[in-house]
Amino acid sequence: MAQPEASSGNGGQGSEGRGVEVVALVTSAGGLEALSGVLRVLPADFPAAIVLAQHLGGQGSVLVDILARRIGLPVKWACEGGRIQPGMVTVCPPRSALEVLPDRTCALRPAERVQTERPLDALLTSIGDSFAGASLAVVLTGMGSDGAAGAAAVRAAGGRVIAQSEETAEFPAMPAAAVAAGAVDLVLPLYDIGPALVDAALGRRLPLASDETQAIRATFGDEGVMAGQAAQLDWSRTPLGPVSSWSPTLRSVVRLMMASPEPTFVFWGDDMLWLSNDASLLFMPGREGSLLGRPYAEVVPEVWDEVRPQYQRVLDGEAQQYHSVPYLYMRDGRMQKVWVHGTNTPIWEPDGTVGGIHRVIHERTDEVLAARRLSALDALAQAPRADSRREALSGAVEMLGDAADVVFAVAYLLDSSSTRAGLVAAAGVEPGGALAPRELPLLPGAAWPLHEVSEPVVVDDLSSRFPGHVVGTDQVTPGAAFVHPLHDDAEERVVGMLILGVDPYLNLDARYREFLMLVGDSVEGRMADAQARHRERRRVERLAELDRAKTEFSRTSRTSSGPR
């Protein structure tokens, strides 16, 4: 018996999920033994309702009695207005068509001619319409094709369909018709169907057919995280359908992707269904699960609007290469800036159409950050020398206003008693505003806790300390700031404070802290140089004043000691 084609329905992800609520079994010739074989293995606490229908003649009136003797679950005939119940087998009466409504009540009508009235199709269609993804249909042995259209309706509604395998069916025509109609998720031998129903009722994944298992292994390999996820995923429930039904092009390019040592992705079809390798996991920390087979817009919605025009050009046949492009990705549960080099290549099908996109990326975040931080430090080092602390601080803050990794900068000088701080300059925030008051008492409760700072510290509660405020050219909500006390060794005290805003979209890791520390040290050095120059000027001025005084004293002495 041929295996089913790919499903186009919207299936669930992962190996565990929502259990089915209603199982419908349909059969015809040879059905009594098949029904007995499936139902006798179901446990007494089976959580789903079971409905069955068989093309029954006159002897069918004893079907309920026979099943009651053979299986452990309670069995009853369906009646008009009666309700199906979990753990109960409800049987369609002879020469009737049974439909189950969304409220679980039964509706019966006469069906004397099965060839024209197709009662099995009617039952399965009603199950799909009423229970959608919570339904499961089983097509067992029988003659004819009744049940095939109903199975297709269940599958189209998001439910699942199992067909009995040809070698175990006494009359294989009926399950074969369902398979030929593309209405079947899985073909199983009779003895495997009962355990599969238990798994389905408990939300577990249906077992895989042998050719599907082989196709998954051949496409994804059998080593690594993503290969393991691919083996556990019920591909028939994804828009891509079973791996065994994929085009040779898709299977080949995915095998190439899995073998790549670089972060590599395949986005397939108009919805850009997501496939990726193990190396890609390092690029997307916090998103290690439930990626495969989902639309790109669901996996990374935060960049979808930004990248959609770019990817559409690739789907139109354009190959792309780009360098150090910035993106904002959700990583480890928060938005973070990322810079990447990469290529986007169209995947051409034999008919000349583009089936999807092959994407390879190389993250360059560390290199970008290192280069621009070095540039900021170089700018501070090469700035003209200042003549005073205030001038040094003001000039440094002005330059830091252009530093990409300092979203705002605020500088204060302390008074001689170190009890108050006066604002010198601010960049990225409004001078005199909430984040940069003109004066700050060095006391608890002030806008900035400068009274506690004797060594560089991180203040990480800015969102609550300054609620509703935004900072920087991008007007972002501040999260943390690095507060660097500015010492004067000659005076042996802290003479100023430099507050540096941390980019909320970057990790405040050791490298970032080191950069902010070097910025503070550099500004402190500029202030020390300016103060030393100021002291030297004062010393020279005092020496000059003393020299003038000595000269005046000498002139006065000569005048007063002249001839009388």
Indicate the angle between helix axes 31-39 and 63-70, nearest 10 degrees: 40
For the chain, the structural domain boundaries read 22-207, 212-363, 385-541
366 exposure class (CB count in 10 Å sphere: 0-12, 13-18, 19+): exposed
More confident of the two residues 416 and 475: 475
> Which amino acid would we find at residue 108?
L
pTM: 0.66
537-558 burial string, b = 16+ CB within 10 Å, else e? eeeeeeeeeeeeeeeeeeeeee
Work out the percent of the chain whose per-residue pLDDT is above 70.
93
Tokens representing 173 are 């025509």
Report which secondary-structure segment, H or E, holds 99: strand 96-100
CATH fold, domain 212-363, is Beta-Lactamase (3.30.450)
Structure tokens at 207: 């077992």
- What six digits make up the tokens of 407? 């979203």
**Greater confidence, 540 or 441?**
441
Q: What is the pLDDT at residue 560?
A: 65
Architecture (CATH level 2) of domain 385-541: 2-Layer Sandwich (3.30)
Say how many CA atoms lie within 13 Å of 293 toward its Cβ: 28
pLDDT at 470: 93
pLDDT at 489: 78
Beta carbons of 445 and 436 less than 8 angstroms apart:
no
28 tagged catalytic: yes
Phi, psi of 480, deg, nearest 5: -150, 160
Residue entry with tokens 């935060």: 302
pLDDT bucket at 6, cuts 50 / 70 / 90: very low
Which pLDDT belongs to residue 562? Answer: 57
Report, at the CATH architecture level, how domain 22-207 is classified.
3-Layer(aba) Sandwich (3.40)
State the Rg of the chain over Cα. 39
Residues 6 or more apart in contact with residue 91 via CB below 8 angstroms: 51, 52, 53, 63, 64, 67, 75, 76, 77, 78
Query: What mean pLDDT do residues 529-533 have?
Result: 81
Averaged pLDDT for residues 150-163: 93
How much is the pLDDT for 209?
65
pLDDT score, position 283: 87
Whole-number pLDDT of residue 12: 37
Q: Which residues of 375-386 are buried (b: 16+ CB within 10 A; e: fewer)?
A: ebeeebeeeeeb
* Given 126, 135, 146, 244, the catalytic residue: 146
Would you give the distance in Å from CA 504 to the centre of its chain?
19
| C-alpha pair distances (Å), 146 with each of 92, 126, 162, 353, 562 | 15, 14, 15, 38, 142
Tell me the per-residue pLDDT of 324-342, one tens digit each, with 9 for 90 and over: 999 999 888 889 999 999 9
In whole angstroms, what separates CA 2 from the centre of its chain? 37
Give the mean pLDDT of 69-98.
Answer: 95
Reference 38, options 29, 104, 47, 27; nearest CA is 27
Query: What pLDDT band is residue 264 in, cutting at 50, 70 and 90?
Result: very high
How far, in Å, CA of 504 to CA of 380, rounded? 23
Residue pair 486/498 in contact (Cβ under 8 Å)? The answer is yes
**Minimum mean pLDDT among 28-37, 403-412, 483-492: which range?**
483-492
Alpha carbon distance 449, 429 (integer Å):
18
Please give the backbone phi and psi of residue 124, each rounded to the nearest 5 degrees, phi first: -65, -40
Give the pLDDT of residue 518.
96
Given this chain, do its domains 22-207 and 385-541 carry the same CATH topology?
A: no
Dihedral angle sign, alpha carbons of residues 177, 178, 184, 188: negative
pLDDT digits (tens, 9 = 90+) for 354-408: 999 999 999 999 999 999 999 999 999 998 888 888 999 999 999 999 998 999 9
CB 259 within 8 A of CB 251: no
